[in-house]
Chain A
Amino acid sequence: MLLMLEDEHKEHLAFLTSVGLDVVQEFCKISLGFIKKGSNPKMYQAAASKLGVDAETVMHGVEGLMYLFTESSKLMVNEIDFQDSIMTLGFPEDLKGLLLQQYLENRKEIRCILSEMSMDLPQYHNLEWRFDVKLASRSLKHQIDPTILLKLHIADSGERHTQVLQTDPSNLVHMTNVLDKALQEMKSQHCRRIVRNI
């Protein structure tokens, strides 16, 4: 699959042709570090003063590299397609080779980071329960009313929430039957076929 690069992106990356190969290597390392840990704007200022160009140009160059790497890792572009995609930028051969090498070395790690960024549903953390019998209340004395109190702990993108629920025994038996049936569903023919083929 070929990557289609936009014109603006190509302009930003064109800056890389004007600097030496080791500087591009440095930029690659910086952009990979930013992908892993987040960007640090102070680096742009320091690099810009060393090279004698605008901080903004440096920022565009590094961000252009970051975007190139993340898009190619996302789409799992193979070598030939990657080389074809960057051919349109008009880079010298050694620069293309360097970019290809950096891409191949780091794409697995970039994919790992990208997979963690996807949408997250609340996750089950813990369930506490308690079995009570209500013997009397203000309105009615001498009663026997069993209830079960459940506290569900949920983790939602790092934060913990709790939800308190109450049920009577027959409802609890029904719930466990339904959940049991759901587990049994994993052992049915249909699910087994799918699990085998993944």
Chain B
Amino acid sequence: MRFHFCGDLDCPDWVLAEISILAKLTSIKMKLLCAQVMKDMLGSGIDYEKVYKLTTDAKFELGDVKASIAALTFIFSSAAKYSVEGEALSNELQQLGLPKEHSVALCKVYEDSLGKLQEELKFKSLRLSHLESAQWRVDYVIGSSKLKELNEPAVQLRLKIRNPDTDQVEPVAFNLSADKFRVFLSELKQAQTAMEGLS
């Protein structure tokens, strides 16, 4: 069975198993649980106390709670990844066995936050490094130990680069003479025109 929200592949077995567990919740509790999971995915953190309160009525064990949060996270992130619409997602979940009210509640939460979720996923996508800030300074070198009268301008650039793995900001500083700086600037301007041609 091919599902759009799984990228036209089969739905994983563990998600199928979890759907039968999720069906045990009432649809209102389902909506609140989806809201909590969505809040977690948007970065605000999940309130486990509330989740426990919601699931104790349906007598979920600890393993069930973890599994249902994982299944909902998978469904939301996978559907956002393939940009599935709310209606289509609702249909597919009903095909998998999730009751109609639950699917509708889930898809409402999904549609409301789809834009924000996709932004968050774009932010978390793989990037090798981020440029945090760039600082510059123009110096005029009057002389040095090698030559008494130098009289040349020089540019100092300091780029702050953030490593996404360690979240540490490292400075990269270097010095440029006037000619080198002119070449550097023209190359960057060429890259900028190429980028503007695309966006």
CB nearest neighbor in A for B125: A130
Given A129-B126, A151-B126, answer yes or no on A135-B194 (Cβ-Cβ < 8 Å).
yes
B198 and A149 form a contact (CB under 8 A): no
Give the residues in chain A near B191, CB-CB below 8 Å.
136, 138
Query: What chain B residues lie within 8 Å of A136 (beta carbons)?
Result: 191, 194
Chain B residues with Cβ under 8 A from A129's Cβ? 126
Residues of A within 8 A of B125 (CB): 128, 130
Contact A130 B194 (CB under 8 A): no
Does B172 count as interface, using CB distance less than 8 angstroms? no
User: B187 interface residue, CB < 8 Å from A?
Assistant: yes
Contacts known (A128-B126, A151-B126); A138 close to B187, Cβ less than 8 A: yes
Q: Which of A130, A135, A138 contacts B126 (CB 8 A)?
A: A130
Q: Supply 16 A–B pairs (Cβ within 8 Å), ascending by A.
A: A128-B125, A128-B126, A129-B126, A130-B125, A130-B126, A135-B194, A135-B198, A136-B191, A136-B194, A138-B187, A138-B190, A138-B191, A149-B126, A151-B126, A162-B165, A164-B128
Question: Which secondary structure dominates where chain B touches chain A?
Answer: helix
Across-interface contacts of B190 in A (CB, < 8 A): 138
Chain A positions within 8 Å of B, measured between CB atoms, are 128-130, 135-136, 138, 141, 149, 151, 162, 164
Chain A facing B: main interface SS: strand
Q: Which residues of chain A are within 8 angstroms of B128 by Cβ–Cβ distance?
A: 149, 164
Among residues of B, the one whose C-beta sits closest to the C-beta of A141 is B194
Closest-by-CB residue of A relative to B127 is A130
**With A and B bound together, what is the CA distance between A41 and B176 in angstroms?**
61
Contacts of B165 in A (CB 8 A): 162
Complex-state Cα separation, A5 to B56, whole angstroms: 56
Query: Closest CB-CB distance, A135 to chain B, in whole Å?
Result: 7
Q: Could you tell me the distance between the alpha carbons of A92 and B126 in the complex, rounded to whole angstroms?
A: 68
Q: How far is the CA of A120 from the CA of B191 in the complex (A)?
A: 47
Interface readout for B162-199 with A: 1 if CB under 8 Å, 0 if not? Answer: 00010000000000000000000001001100100010
Of all chain A residues, the one with the shortest Cβ separation from B124 is: A128
Q: Which residues on B sit within 8 Å (CB–CB) of A130?
A: 125-126
Q: For the complex, what is the distance from the CA of A171 to the CA of B89, rounded to whole Å? A: 34
Cα separation A136 to B187 with both chains bound (whole Å) = 12
Q: Which residues of B contact A164 (CB under 8 A)?
A: 128
Bound Cα distance from A135 to B191, whole angstroms: 10
Q: How far, in angstroms, from A136 to B196 measured CA to CA in the complex? A: 13
Q: A residues within 8 A CB of B187?
A: 138
Looking across the interface, which residue of chain B has its beta carbon closest to that of A131?
Answer: B126
Q: How far is the CA of A135 from the CA of B125 in the complex (A)?
A: 20
